[in-house]
């Protein structure tokens, strides 16, 4: 998951999952070689593209990798927040299971907060499930800041350490050492 800031603009209820080309190439094509009916068995749609390529998407529904809602802040990384059918993952300590997007534990509660002023509540949102993809524009954009921390201070004042799964800490150490060495050479 990249570190960046943007603004949430809309939600999509019953989203299609347009599988990124990198996932098609690295994960789906090898499985298709083993089983040519692999995508069909999982309910994916294969769509021809101009120029001879293909697009793969997963229709809305209970098995959809994005769950029932995705929260969109369009960005160059194609990263967003979304529901998930894999609710069991929230009980695990390690949660780096995504390809970059961020799973939301209580998506209807978040949507309720974002849309309550527009007349939506959780019941009204859940009533939309299964009725086709629906985009709901936010009246006001919401700032989103995706950050990454490997340390935090708990309520008792103790430092908790977390795995540096992206290697950011080492990059920061290297940059700080280079800066420190440069400053020392200027003295």
Query: What is the rounded CA–CA span in Å between residue 108 and residue 55?
Result: 29
Q: How far is CA 103 from CA 2, 17, 62, 137, 142, in A?
A: 14, 14, 15, 20, 18
Q: Is 101 in the active site?
A: yes
Q: Is 145 in the active site?
A: no
Residues across the chain: 187
Q: Which of 82, 99, 158, 168 is catalytic?
A: 82
> What does the block give as tokens for 56?
């793969």
> What does the block give as tokens for 154?
């708990």
Q: Which of 77, 99, 101, 145 is catalytic?
A: 101
Nearest to 13 by CA among 72, 97, 75, 79: 72
Instruction: Quickly count: other Cβ atoms within 10 Å of residue 55's Cβ.
Output: 13
Cite the active site residues: 82, 101
């Amino acid at each position: 998951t990249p570190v960046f800031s943007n603004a949430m603009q809309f939600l999509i209820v019953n989203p299609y999952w347009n599988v990124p080309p990198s996932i098609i190439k690295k994960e789906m094509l090898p499985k298709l070689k083993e089983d040519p009916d692999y995508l069909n068995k999982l309910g994916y749609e294969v769509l021809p593209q101009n120029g001879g390529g293909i697009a793969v998407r997963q229709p809305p529904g209970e098995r959809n990798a994005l769950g029932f809602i995705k929260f969109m802040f369009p960005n160059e990384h194609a990263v967003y927040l979304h529901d998930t059918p894999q609710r069991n993952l929230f009980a695990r300590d390690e949660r780096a299971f995504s390809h970059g997007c961020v799973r939301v534990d209580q998506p209807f509660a978040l949507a309720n907060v974002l849309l309550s002023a527009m007349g939506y509540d959780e019941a009204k949102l859940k009533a939309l499930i299964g009725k086709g993809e629906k985009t709901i524009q936010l009246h006001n954009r919401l700032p989103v800041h995706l950050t990454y921390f490997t340390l935090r201070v708990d309520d008792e004042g103790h430092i908790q350490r977390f795995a540096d799964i992206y290697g950011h800490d080492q990059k920061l150490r290297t940059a700080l050492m280079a800066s420190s060495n440069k400053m020392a050479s200027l003295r």
